[in-house]
Amino acid sequence: MRKFDYSIFKESSWDNKLVNLLSRIHEQKGRLQSFFTQDSEKLEKLVEIAKIQSTESSNEIEGIRTTDTRIRQLVNEKTTPRNRDEEEIAGYRDALNVIHENFNLISITPNFILQLHKIMMSHTSASHGGKFKNIQNYISAVDRKGKAHTLFTPLSPFKTPIAMQELCDEYNRISGDGMVDPLVLIPIFIHDFLCMHPFIDGNGRMSRLLTTLLLYRSDYHVGKYISLESKIAKNKDLYYNALRESQIGWHDNRDDVTPFAIFLLGTIASAYDDIEERAELMFERNSAIEIVRKATKTKIGKFTKADIMELIPSISSTSIERSLKALCDAGEIRKEGSGRATCYIRTKQ
């Protein structure tokens, strides 16, 4: 029988890689405190980009997608959903907005988690939004021969409501006494949530929303400016491998959360790296072309105009395009392809 006792982590000896990631994130957070008090207009552009990427990537991981244009329109509430995928996307947008705007008012309780799930499913016709599962679900995979097999069996529907209450109570108890680093507690909570798989649908997306919520409530606001979901999507195989490895023995309390914790903390550290990179470029006082030149030097291999826009959202699309053309004319970068397939490669380091 699974038991939730987070007090054991007060005395845990962690893997050196995990400890190094904790130290790195603490240092990054300290260095960036002043960055978050600067020009709010420039920071809001980072927030806008992160919201679009988070909504797109978290749904993309689950095979839910639409066009780039439609994603931007849906996230900015410029249009209404046209199909089931877009309904799912609009729901994620709404739940993410609730977290962004009200994280300090959202307690970690089953009731609030159910409410977030209901919001996430609110644009669909699904009747299970805001309700725990009433049928057994399974985490499965299909092998090369097309045969499906079960990788992990989550908790039964009967046990789920009680377990969710115990999980939330234990998280709140241990986080309240401050004896365990919140950066350790968050991956543990998310791992347990995913092992329970408390909903018929939307467990992965809910886990990513809850990650952002728990980080915000612990004063780690990195997910507001850099999309954690986008980083997870780019390393989806590593994410699933780490989760599977950590799930072994979960029902009997013999699991080791370390692989999943290392993956999630590595994702957070990488997001802080991105913020530092953008901070340096965003507050440059040089001309547009000099800032774009500096941005291109951070790229290895092929990059796109969108990649540069992501790095320096304070500069207009037109100015970036003009600067890229000037760098091409000067022979510093080379343009390849055309239309949507256009990319650039540095010719001078």
Using the 3D structure, point to which of 281, 312, 327 is the last residue of a domain: 281
User: DSSP assignment, residue 336?
Assistant: E
Q: What is the CATH number of the domain that holds 317?
A: 1.10.10.10
Q: Answer yes or no: do 197 and 110 share one domain.
A: yes
Q: Answer yes or no: do 242 and 303 share one domain.
A: no
pLDDT for the residue 23? 96
Which amino acid, residue 342? Answer: T
Q: Answer yes or no: do 178 and 294 share one domain.
A: no
Residues whose CB is less than 8 angstroms from the CB of residue 110 and which lie 6 or more positions away in sequence, other chains included: 161, 164, 165, 168
pLDDT for the residue 178? 87
pLDDT for the residue 280? 75
pLDDT for the residue 11? 81
Q: Is residue 218 part of a domain?
A: yes
Q: Answer yes or no: do 242 and 291 share one domain.
A: no
Q: Answer yes or no: do 264 and 235 share one domain.
A: yes
Q: Is residue 12 part of a domain?
A: no
Q: Which helix (H) or strand (E) holds 320?
A: helix 317-329
pLDDT for the residue 310? 82
pLDDT for the residue 12? 83
Q: How is residue 202 written in tokens?
A: 């939307």
User: DSSP assignment, residue 109?
Assistant: S
Q: Answer yes or no: do 291 and 268 share one domain.
A: no
CB 185 within 8 A of CB 191: no
Q: Is residue 292 part of a domain?
A: yes
Q: Is residue 11 part of a domain?
A: no
pLDDT for the residue 315? 85
Using the 3D structure, point to which of 281, 300, 331 is the last residue of a domain: 281
Q: Is residue 84 part of a domain?
A: yes
Q: Answer yes or no: do 239 and 173 share one domain.
A: yes
Using the 3D structure, point to which of 250, 281, 312 is the last residue of a domain: 281
pLDDT for the residue 39? 65
pLDDT for the residue 349? 61
Task: Kindly tell me the burial class for residue 144, based on how many C-beta atoms sit within 10 Å of its own C-beta (0-12, 13-18, 19 or more).
Answer: exposed
Residues whose CB is less than 8 angstroms from the CB of residue 135 and which lie 6 or more positions away in sequence, other chains included: 157, 200
DSSP string, 220-267: --HHHHS-HHHHHHHTHHHHHHHHHHHHTTGGGT----HHHHHHHHHH
pLDDT for the residue 143? 65
CB 51 within 8 A of CB 75: yes
Q: Answer yes or no: do 330 and 248 share one domain.
A: no
Q: Is residue 116 part of a domain?
A: yes
Q: Answer yes or no: do 84 and 52 share one domain.
A: yes
Tokens 């920071």 found at: 43
Q: Answer yes or no: do 221 and 330 share one domain.
A: no
CA 262 from centroid of its chain's CA atoms: 15
CB 281 within 8 A of CB 274: no
Q: Answer yes or no: do 185 and 319 share one domain.
A: no
pLDDT-flagged residues of the chain (< 70): 39, 142-143, 348-349
pLDDT for the residue 246? 97
| Total domain count, the chain | 2
Distance CA 216, CA 189 (A): 15
Q: Is residue 1 part of a domain?
A: no
Q: Answer yes or no: do 304 and 196 share one domain.
A: no
Q: Is residue 177 part of a domain?
A: yes
CB 260 within 8 A of CB 86: no
What residue numbers bound the domain in which 187 lies?
A: 39-139+150-281
Q: What is the CATH number of the domain that holds 214?
A: 1.10.3290.10
Q: How is residue 88 written in tokens?
A: 């799912």
Tokens 């796109």 found at: 304
